[in-house]
Amino acid sequence: MGIKGERKIATTDEKSNRGPWQDVDEADWQDWRWQVRNRVRTEKLLDELLKDAPEISRLRRTVIRTYPFAVTPYYFSLMKPRDAGDPIRLQCIPDPRELTFSLGGVEDPLEEGRDMPLPGLIHRYADRCLAMVTHSCMMYCRHCNRKRFWKAGRAEKARLGAMIDYVAATPGIREVIVSGGDPLTLPEAVLDSFLGALRAIPHVEVLRLGSRVPVVLPMRITPSLVRMLRKHRPLWFNTQFNSPRELTKEAALACRRLVDAGIPLSNQSVLLRGVNDTCETMRELLYGLQRISVRPYYLFACDPVRGADHFRVDLWKGMEMMERISRSTSGLCVPRYVMDVPGGKGKMPLQTFSLLNDSFLP
Ligand SMILES: *Cc1c(COP(=O)(O)O)cnc(C)c1O
Ligand code: SF4
């Protein structure tokens, strides 16, 4: 399984939670390259680690043929592997339910294809556009609304060049959202020159980076990466913590490095059944984010995307939950609960009219 390093005796609780990796050298564990090299990505290793019933493993193999998987040892170690309802496990382990289309999930519910003036660039709102610079991710989130792209490769250099030309030729764009996939899977130099080229366009005032790396591979936020990113400020960093269990010491350090470099951090969670769909869990997540200087920005209703139906939470249940939370929680902790309206109509806030709904609140 590629674990190297001399045997060491685990001395802290954290180490003993590293399961099969508890003997890995601390320096290796904290090295993002080691984490990437040692990602769990074969069915065989997954079966060994999870020890599920054979029928479950067999079904999982079918899922993997449609939707691949990869999990960093770091993220894997946050999981209670034998608990099928574990919020970490739900987000990263292929689940037979991904292949049930009973609720009619579609591949591209947001019709992102419609607002693409060129491959990978979505220009839906006049003043900003979203550039999907890669389809790769450090980990494949099972609830991802772009899972249809997972088999496509990385956007080649020519494509990035075409995106820059489009933005340069469109003076209305003042903000570019660099997204994917996960842009932090690109080589540092490629990302640096892409951000630099956008920065050189006079009408581009602000850059935004969307990445789940602080959650799934926080050790990738190295001082050298942060030095590169800070050159391109004003740069806003949006990440995606979904569970309070993801708020580890490592994640907090990654966030602190970014904030210390003058890069404001926001969070876009997805409301996921079994992961964060109770008031208690959601409040713990929101408080935890505020403690590490991450501003909760959006809470997305899970899109009706094929392969993620089992994560969807009733919209009204979500509205009631967020209504309760917003009444009793610091405004700095409360994200906007929104849904992406199918058919490319954009984001719509999901809010109850408080006065009308007093009857169902305590
Ligand atoms: C969400 C989104 C944006 C960014 O919208 P904000 O409300 O500014 O966060 C931009 N383009 C597309 C296509 C989006 O889906
Ligand atoms: S990091 Fe983002 S794009 Fe990648 S799998 Fe997770 S949700 Fe999807």
pLDDT at 200: 98
Sheet (strand 336-341) strand order: 121-125, 128-132, 175-179, 206-210, 235-239, 265-271, 294-301, 336-341, 346-349
**What is the band of 10 on the pLDDT scale with cuts at 50, 70, 90?**
very low
Q: For residue 7, what are its two tokens? A: 């045997």
Q: Any idea which ligand is nearest the CA of 335?
A: 1
Rounded CA gap, 130 and 117, in Å?
Answer: 11
**Centre of ligand 1 from the C-alpha of residue 347, in Å:** 8
Q: What phi, psi does 271 have (nearest 5°)?
A: -75, 115
CA of 360 to the centre of ligand 2 (A): 35
Cα(357) to centroid(ligand 1), Å: 29
Joined together, the tokens standing for residue 180 give 């994917």
**268 pLDDT tier (thresholds 50, 70, 90):** very high
Q: Do residues 132 and 181 lie in contact, with contact meaning Cβ atoms separated by under 8 Å?
A: yes
Reply yes or no on whether the pLDDT at 6 is more than 80: no
pTM of the model as a whole: 0.92
Which residue numbers are catalytic?
124-125, 128, 137, 141, 144, 146, 303, 340, 347
Q: How many residues does the chain have?
A: 362
Cβ of residue 148 lying under 6 Å from some atom of ligand 1: no
Q: Given this model, what pLDDT does residue 353 score?
A: 64
25-84 pLDDT, tens digit per residue, is 999 999 999 999 999 999 999 999 999 899 999 999 999 998 999 999 999 999 998 898
CB atoms within 10 A of CB 262: 12
Cβ neighbours of residue 221 closer than 8 Å, sequence gap 6 or more: 213, 214, 253, 254, 255, 257, 258
What is the atom index within ligand 2 of the atom nearest the CA of 270?
7
122 lines ligand 1 (CB under 6 A): yes
204 Cβ inside 6 Å of ligand 1: no
Q: What is the reported pLDDT for 19?
A: 83
Please count the other Cβ atoms lying within 10 Å of the Cβ belonging to residue 244.
Answer: 18
Ligand minimally distant from the alpha carbon of residue 339: 1
Cα 101 to averaged position of ligand 2 atoms, centre (Å): 21
The 10s digit of each residue's pLDDT in 84-131 is 899 999 999 999 999 876 455 666 767 777 789 999 999 999 999 999
Question: Which ligand lies nearest the alpha carbon of 126?
Answer: 1
Q: Would you kindly state where each structural domain of the chain is located, as residue ranges?
A: 12-100
- C-beta 180 within 6 A of ligand 2: yes
Buried b (16+ CB within 10 A) or exposed e, 110-139: bebeebbeeebbbbbeeebbbbbbbbbbbb
Question: Do residues 208 and 176 make contact, with C-beta atoms less than 8 angstroms apart?
Answer: yes
Point out the ligand 2 atom lying closest to the alpha carbon of residue 180. 3
Closest CA to 258 of 278, 239, 237: 237
DSSP, collapsed to helix, strand or coil, labels residue 270 as: strand
Tens of pLDDT, residues 298-312: 999 998 888 899 999
Is the CB–ligand 2 distance for residue 288 below 6 Å?
A: no
Residue type, 168: A
Q: How many Å apart are CA 184 and CA 294, to the nearest integer?
A: 19
**Residue 287: which H helix or E strand, with range?**
helix 279-291
Q: Which residue puts its alpha carbon closest to atom 1 of ligand 1?
A: 347
Distance 6 CA to ligand 2 centre (A): 34
Label residue 80 exposed, middle or buried (CB < 10 Å: 0-12, 13-18, 19+): middle
- DSSP string of 43-94, one letter each residue: HHHHHHHH---HHHHHHHHHHHHHS---B-HHHHTTS-TT-TT-HHHHHHS-
